[in-house]
Amino acid sequence: MNFDQKLKEKLKQNMEFWDEEINDINRNEIIDRAYKVDKDLIGILIDDKEIRETFFDKIKEYWVFNVNKFVDYIENIKVLSNSYTKFKNSVGLNVNGKSLNERGEVSLVWPFKDCVLEGGMTKEDQKRNEIFFNEILAKDEIDRLFDSKVLTNFKKYTAKGEEQVKDFNRDGKGTIKDNLIIKGNNLLALHSLKKEFAGKVKLIYIDPPYNTGGSAETFTYNNSFNHSTWLTFMKNRLEVAKDFLRDDGFISIAIDHEELLYLGVLADEVFGRENRVGIVSILHNPEGRQNAKYFTATHEYLIVYRKSISSEFNPVYLQENSKDSKEINDVYDKRDEKGIYKEENFIRLGGGDACLRKNKLAGWYPLYVSEDLRDISGNKKQGYKEIYPITDSGQERTWKIIKKSFEDKFKDGDIYATKKNGKIRICEKYRIDKGSPITTCWINKKYNAKKSGTNLLQSLFDEKLFSYPKSLYAVLDTLKIMTSNNDVVMDFFAGSGTTGHATLELNKEDGEKRQFILIEQLDTHADVIKKRIKKVLENDKSKESFTYCELLKYNEEAIDKIQDAKDTKTLLKIWDEMCEKYFLNYDVEIKKFNDNKKDFEKMTLKQQKEVLVEMLNKNQLYVNLSEVEDSQFKISKEDKELNKKFYRGK
Ligand SMILES: C[S@@+](CC[C@H](N)C(=O)[O-])C[C@H]1O[C@@H](n2cnc3c(N)ncnc32)[C@H](O)[C@@H]1O
């Protein structure tokens, strides 16, 4: 937490110093009270050592409030303005004047026009009319929703095939080290995994439903509600995702132009704007669409946040912004005893006008080069030639480092003089292990989602199992920059499992042992992931493995049945079963339903389905771990044992 954040947190202790509407400090009130040397305000400020030392002067043993310094600071501190609130209202972050924070709602599913949900099936036509239920729960409806859930159907897969799961591998600190694929609603799966993996994940890569509109007629929501529903869905997940990240972790979210702005505002709020490290444009579909009315989108985005200032990129060489994939050796075409390098001018050519002589005087100084070019010095020497950082076109710029640091750097042996067209040039050896700067424009053809996603996946199976997977290399390069060693990688919108595949691929490439955790809700997609990762293990004759399991369904099973029902008669049968076997909301009046069946029958099938789903208690979608011994769930002895081993009493 930086100083401003800390100061604001302290001031928030007294709600008179806080403006709820903008969710920030009430600047005028604070300044007013400061001038009055208000006891409550002083009390808050003097309590904290750092704040005290900033705004109080110590005279003998007394601390004296420096009003002017404090007021000056508060006047200049960044405070959210009302226009920000207005924007949040207009983008749907606020509904009915309340922000998402205040509403504290939970959206369980985001079913609507996920291109993959709609188009990702083998038998697409059969699935087209599938109805998904999106329901927003208010805070007071939630009690057991986020409790850990019972896991079932455990299986382990290696290159050799399927094995029974007997236990879980753990590292020295006791954390599960197995690659995991978990089927179930990601929000609930995340809450189940939290105790085990909180603070342990290095990279979360997600590719959520893009909310791209399309089959809008299946939904009655207007657009802003539509965005706000999507935002609620995302907010619930991003907030819990944050808890999983290590202090030096990252989260990378794939998104397209439809929701980029909305997601950006939300993610800034969750992760902190200062932690947004970049928005990368990825050329995933260079051809675009033939029939676009206006622009045809050829790229999408990867929006990246760090967990904290201690998150750092690895030095890597991606060639992300080169159209043709030149081999590393073509670029790093020189070699010495330390390895390969490329020659770079020691004049700072980047940085635009900021690195001109007139703007950065400390970088403008002469270097002295011996006649045989072997020695370079920052100090004048007899017989040495004086060289200034002037480009071939005569522009006066600066050296890459200031004079004071030059001698030390020269001793490292990576700065040398050479002759170009009769002129002496000072150069630096740019080594591969320093990596190349990672740009925000990824246009290399390896990111083409059709070639390195759809076709690559199809080539593994000889049939199309999934539409629109990400390019393997878009994910792999993200992993390269942000993970190493035994890092944990998580993807809770796993789709076809590209993130798992990329993790294995990169481990193969660099010999590291990254671990993946994938979560996917849809049966069909979870099957694709299993098949895909199994195939990768087989093809590579890999020594790696993964453990698969599912959240044990309870009311979710009833929802599945409702979704699959083709007519009212079937739905009424399910209703009877619901009364008998499943968990209904407390306020559902069974008798009234039965008395009014005629009215129910008059509704459309879609409405009937919605009513039934709404009556099911969402706290009981899956079986809570605390109920593992309850005989009505018929949980096998083996599963009970494995749940014990997985959760270890957590
Ligand atoms: C855009 S796709 C991800 C594609 C993936 N990156 C790939 O390369 O294959 C989003 C996935 O998230 C899944 N999903 C959507 N809502 C979910 C939820 N609430 N819980 C778990 N998975 C969900 C969808 O079923 C879909 O497979």
Give the position of tokens 């949980």.
635
**Which range among 95-104, 169-178, 577-586 has the greatest average pLDDT?**
169-178
For residue 470, give the ligand 1 atom closest to its CA: 8
Between the CA of 203 and the centroid of ligand 1 the distance, in Å, is 17
Q: What pLDDT, on a 0 to 100 scale, did the predictor assign at position 650?
A: 63
User: Once rounded to an integer, what is the mean pLDDT over residues 504-532?
Assistant: 95
Tell me the CA distances in angstroms from 427 to 260, 367, 419, one per residue in order: 42, 12, 10
Between the CA of 170 and the centroid of ligand 1 the distance, in Å, is 28
The predicted-structure confidence for 293-321, as pLDDT tens digits, reads as follows 899 999 999 999 999 999 999 999 888 98
- C-beta pairs of 140-145 under 8 Å, 24+ apart in sequence: 141/618, 141/619, 142/106, 142/618, 142/619, 143/619, 144/619, 144/620, 144/624, 145/106, 145/188, 145/191, 145/618, 145/619, 145/621
For residue 114, give the ligand 1 atom closest to its CA: 1
Higher pLDDT, 129 or 616: 616
Between the CA of 469 and the centroid of ligand 1 the distance, in Å, is 10
Residue nearest to atom 25 of ligand 1 (CA): 522
pLDDT band at 87, cuts 50/70/90?
A: very low
Task: Look at residue 387 and tell me whether its pLDDT is greater than 90.
Answer: yes
User: Once rounded to an integer, what is the mean pLDDT over residues 52-71?
Assistant: 90
What single-letter amino acid sits at 8? K
Q: What pLDDT, on a 0 to 100 scale, did the predictor assign at position 366?
A: 95
Task: Look at residue 450 and tell me whether its pLDDT is greater than 50.
Answer: yes
**β strands within 213-286, DSSP E:** 245-255, 276-283
- Please choose, from the candidates 483, 470, 545, the residue with its C-alpha nearest in 3D space to the C-alpha of residue 509: 483
Between the CA of 494 and the centroid of ligand 1 the distance, in Å, is 5
User: Once rounded to an integer, what is the mean pLDDT over residues 328-357?
Assistant: 87
Sequence length of the chain is: 650
User: Once rounded to an integer, what is the mean pLDDT over residues 357-367?
Assistant: 93
Task: Look at residue 349 and tell me whether its pLDDT is greater than 80.
Answer: yes
Q: Could you give the CA distance from residue 296 to residue 298 in angstroms, rounded to a whole number?
A: 6
Best mutation site among 230, 503, 520 for ligand 1 pocket (most ligand atoms within 8 Å of CB):
520
Between the CA of 493 and the centroid of ligand 1 the distance, in Å, is 4
Between the CA of 207 and the centroid of ligand 1 the distance, in Å, is 7
Percent of the chain with pLDDT over 90: 60
Within 10 angstroms of residue 422's Cβ, the number of other Cβ atoms is 5
- Please choose, from the candidates 114, 112, 100, the residue with its C-alpha nearest in 3D space to the C-alpha of residue 207: 114
Q: Could you give the CA distance from residue 341 to residue 335 in angstroms, rounded to a whole number?
A: 6
Q: What pLDDT, on a 0 to 100 scale, did the predictor assign at position 503?
A: 98
Residue nearest to atom 2 of ligand 1 (CA): 495
Q: What pLDDT, on a 0 to 100 scale, did the predictor assign at position 98?
A: 58
What single-letter amino acid sits at 482? M
Residue nearest to atom 6 of ligand 1 (CA): 207
Percent of the chain with pLDDT over 70: 87
Asked whether the beta carbons of 304 and 280 are under 8 A apart, the reply is: yes
The predicted-structure confidence for 197-230, as pLDDT tens digits, reads as follows 999 999 999 999 876 654 333 333 344 446 777 7
User: Once rounded to an integer, what is the mean pLDDT over residues 362-371?
Assistant: 94
**Which range among 206-215, 273-282, 341-350 shows the weakest confidence by mean pLDDT?**
206-215
Residues lining ligand 1, judged by CB closer than 6 Å? 109-110, 114, 116-117, 185-186, 207, 209, 469-470, 493, 495-496, 498, 519-522, 525
- Please choose, from the candidates 466, 439, 438, the residue with its C-alpha nearest in 3D space to the C-alpha of residue 454: 466
Between the CA of 491 and the centroid of ligand 1 the distance, in Å, is 9
Higher pLDDT, 624 or 217: 624
Between the CA of 492 and the centroid of ligand 1 the distance, in Å, is 7
Task: Look at residue 553 and tell me whether its pLDDT is greater than 80.
Answer: yes
Q: What pLDDT, on a 0 to 100 scale, did the predictor assign at position 114?
A: 34
Q: What pLDDT, on a 0 to 100 scale, did the predictor assign at position 472?
A: 98
Best mutation site among 127, 182, 521, 556 for ligand 1 pocket (most ligand atoms within 8 Å of CB):
521
Higher pLDDT, 529 or 87: 529
Task: Look at residue 502 and tell me whether its pLDDT is greater than 80.
Answer: yes
pLDDT band at 103, cuts 50/70/90?
A: low
Q: What pLDDT, on a 0 to 100 scale, did the predictor assign at position 133?
A: 59
Average pLDDT over the chain, rounded to an integer: 86
User: Is-above-0.85 flag for pTM?
Assistant: no
Residue nearest to atom 17 of ligand 1 (CA): 521
